[in-house]
Amino acid sequence: MLPQPRLPRRAGRRTNLALLTLLAVAAATGVLAYGVGTPGPARVVVAVHGAAGLGLLLLVPWKTVVVRRAWGRAAGTRGSAALLGVLVALTVVSGALHVAGLAQPAVLQVHVGAAVGTVPLLVLHAWGRRQRPRRTDLSRRTLLQAGALAAGAAALWGAGEAVLRVAGAPGAGRRATGSLERGTDDPAAMPVTQWFTDSVPDGAAGSLTVVSGARVATLTAADLDRGDRVRAALDCTGGWFAVQDWAGVRLDRLLAELFDDDLPGGGSVDVVSRTGYRRRLPLRDAGALLLATSAAGRPLSAGHGAPVRLVAPGRRGFWWVKWVERIEVVDAPWWRQPPFPLQ
Ligand SMILES: Nc1nc2c(c(=O)[nH]1)N[C@H]1C(S)=C(S)[C@@H](COP(=O)(O)O)O[C@H]1N2
Ligand SMILES: [Mo]
């Protein structure tokens, strides 16, 4: 029998709470990273996500002691605890590979898959070892330690970024969202991606129906070639982006023409695909949205949404509805929809 390491129980408790906090921050910023598309906020979210993940590494020496001490007593939960450890390690390693720009695009799917698998195991693991809050949790000493951990995590993240730059890793040129460039100004080289279970529809597209209240207009794709242009990045949560010159008609302009400027001040607009895939956006954003029929001067390909797709600058790719068949002005607020598409 090995002698028990003579550590105060508190040390293990603080390590575990710190790990739980970092994992919670990593999970929250991971979900948030899918939602943000504008460079400023995206940079912050992605940096905090990276630092939280790397911060886990700083706690490995302490966690090793905690695990060694508990291993003998935890026969019943060893299997799930070990699996949790493996999944967390896999999440961190695949995240680092993604950041380095290696093994794309599969490595980001591994990262997200392993992270999602971690959640139920972590909840069970932490619940089985739940702790009452203590007054010392907010002591000066604890706060200083938390600050030191945060500073260490930030330093590790900064060092990682510097190494990528010096090494000239493919990931050094990432966008603020973390995505890598693929197919800018060359739509044929841009990946064709669906969100979840959707697929490229076959058969010819019909007309486009635009609805506001009782009024209905029916258009063909040719009606949308108005020469409105925008240069914008399509940035997929799968980890790539491409900047294109998109052309078609601005949504505010089209709606004003069709409905003689008689539009509600608030409300939203539902953009629905031929496949049933849909997103709801605030009507006040219509001036920044484009119904695009071409990219880089060429008509859209079938995979990229022909004959017409939504271009939503500053929003992640899942907002850029392809194969648009119906546009409807509705009173409901834009957030009354699932936060991510369901198909
Ligand atoms: N109808 C429909 N539109 C869609 C999707 C989808 O699955 N179905 N996927 C979205 C996602 S997640 C992205 S990243 C872009 C990808 O566009 P691309 O295939 O032209 O590159 O389309 C968006 N529009
Ligand atoms: Mo995407």
Mean pLDDT of 212-224: 94
Rounded to 5, what percent of the chain is helix, strand, coil? 50, 20, 35
Residue nearest atom 19 of ligand 1, based on CA coordinates: 192
Domain coordinates in residue numbering, the chain: 9-178, 181-330
Residue-wise pLDDT for 262-303, tens only, equals 777 789 999 999 999 999 999 999 999 999 999 999 999 999
Q: Which amino acid is at 338?
A: P
Mean pLDDT of 84-97: 97
Helix (H) or strand (E) holding 119, with range, is helix 106-128
Q: What is the pLDDT of residue 11?
A: 54
Ligand at minimal distance from the CA of 317 is 1
Residue-wise pLDDT for 303-330, tens only, equals 999 999 999 999 999 999 999 999 999 9
Residue-wise pLDDT for 172-191, tens only, equals 889 999 999 999 999 999 99
Superfamily of domain 181-330: Oxidoreductase, molybdopterin-binding domain (3.90.420.10)
The β-bridge relationship of strands 324-330 and 208-212 is: parallel
Q: What is the pLDDT of residue 136?
A: 86
The per-type count for the chain, helices as H runs and strands as E runs, is 7, 11
**By percentage, how much of the chain surpasses pLDDT 90?**
82
Ligand 1 pocket check: which of 108, 112, 177, 195 to mutate, most ligand atoms within 8 Å of Cβ?
195
Contacts of residue 218, defined as CB under 8 A and 6 or more positions apart, other chains included, come to 207, 208, 209, 210
Residue identified by tokens 């940035």 is 235
How would DSSP label each residue in 63-92? HHHHHHHHHTT-GGGHHHHHHHHHHHHHHH
More confident residue, 244 or 71: 244
Q: What is the pLDDT of residue 262?
A: 73
Q: What is the pLDDT of residue 113?
A: 96
Ligand at minimal distance from the CA of 308 is 1
Closest CA to 246 of 234, 230, 260, 258: 230
Q: What is the pLDDT of residue 7?
A: 46
Instruction: Give, in order, the Cα–Cα distances in Å from 42 to each of 99, 222, 270, 313, 316.
Output: 14, 36, 25, 14, 11
Q: What confidence tier does 334 reach under pLDDT thresholds 50, 70, 90?
A: very high
- Ligand 1 is surrounded, with C-beta below 6 A, by 190-195, 198, 234, 236, 273, 275, 277, 303-305, 317-318, 320-323
